[in-house]
Chains A and B, each alone.
Chain A
Amino acid sequence: EAGVAQSPRYKIIEKRQSVAFWCNPISGHATLYWYQQILGQGPKLLIQFQNNGVVDDSQLPKDRFSAERLKGVDSTLKIQPAKLEDSAVYLCASAHYWVGNGYTFGSGTRLTVV
């Protein structure tokens, strides 16, 4: 079974620029999550999709962050404009409806804003 694919692996941008991250979940996984992990902290949920609908985006900074999951498969997360404090690892995860035995995470995208 192929894992969760994320790209790019690394990205360096200047503040006020825009950036986009891509995630392809495990085939058949209806639930997709985007997490932000700042250095030295645990991951924090940004947005949760169920198929192509948003379940939870309460911690997504909507003035600059946006996300979509077209056709309930791939997802993109965009930041525009980026701030220095957006420097973090962005993790994508997918799961079956019942996540009793764990999610599957992608390798993450490490974003540095300079």
Chain B
Amino acid sequence: AQKITQTQPGMFVQEKEAVTLDCTYDTSDQSYGLFWYKQPSSGEMIFLIYQGSYDEQNATEGRYSLNFQKARKSANLVISASQLGDSAMYFCAMSFTGANSKLTFGKGITLSVRP
């Protein structure tokens, strides 16, 4: 069975600095996708970035990058130049192709950006 682990306690970062949010996963499948979502206090789930298991390069989307280390089964999110609006819960998730396409989420990490 697939599992996502996010163990960091609440994270704090100074505005304009970079921060790394950790995520490890467990699966025996070779084909899978890894996602990061942001959930502000308003509750909506905002898609940030996606990494396919066969992608050779780390995914990047603006200020977000995913540090994918397949052998270690880790998929850490790096946010560069943090902004006050980045304060939110961040969830790592995994899915597979075909019928088993549901997202399996970790428990999340709270990020607080200090001015």
In the bound complex, what is the Cα–Cα distance between A95 and B105 (angstroms)?
16
Residues of B within 8 A of A50 (CB): 99
Given contact pairs A56-B99, A99-B101, A110 touches B106 in the complex (Cβ within 8 A): no
Return A108 CB to nearest CB of chain B, in Å. Answer: 5
User: Chain A interface (Cβ within 8 Å of chain B)?
Assistant: 31, 33, 35, 40-45, 48, 50, 55-56, 89, 91, 93, 95, 98-108, 110
Are the C-beta atoms of A110 and B43 separated by less than 8 Å? yes
Q: Which residue of A lies closest to B46 (CB)?
A: A105
In the bound complex, what is the Cα–Cα distance between A20 and B93 (angstroms)?
27
Q: Which residue of A lies closest to B102 (CB)?
A: A45
Residues of B within 8 A of A42 (CB): 4, 91, 93, 105-108
Q: Which residue of B lies closest to A59 (CB)?
A: B102
Given contact pairs A55-B99, A56-B99, A100-B50, A105 touches B106 in the complex (Cβ within 8 A): no
B44 within 8 Å of A by Cβ? yes
B45 within 8 Å of A by Cβ? yes
In the bound complex, what is the Cα–Cα distance between A107 and B48 (angstroms)?
16
Q: Which residue of B lies closest to A47 (CB)?
A: B102
In the bound complex, what is the Cα–Cα distance between A48 and B101 (angstroms)?
9
Residues of B within 8 A of A103 (CB): 47, 103
Are the C-beta atoms of B43 and A31 separated by less than 8 Å? no
Are the C-beta atoms of A102 and B101 separated by less than 8 Å? no
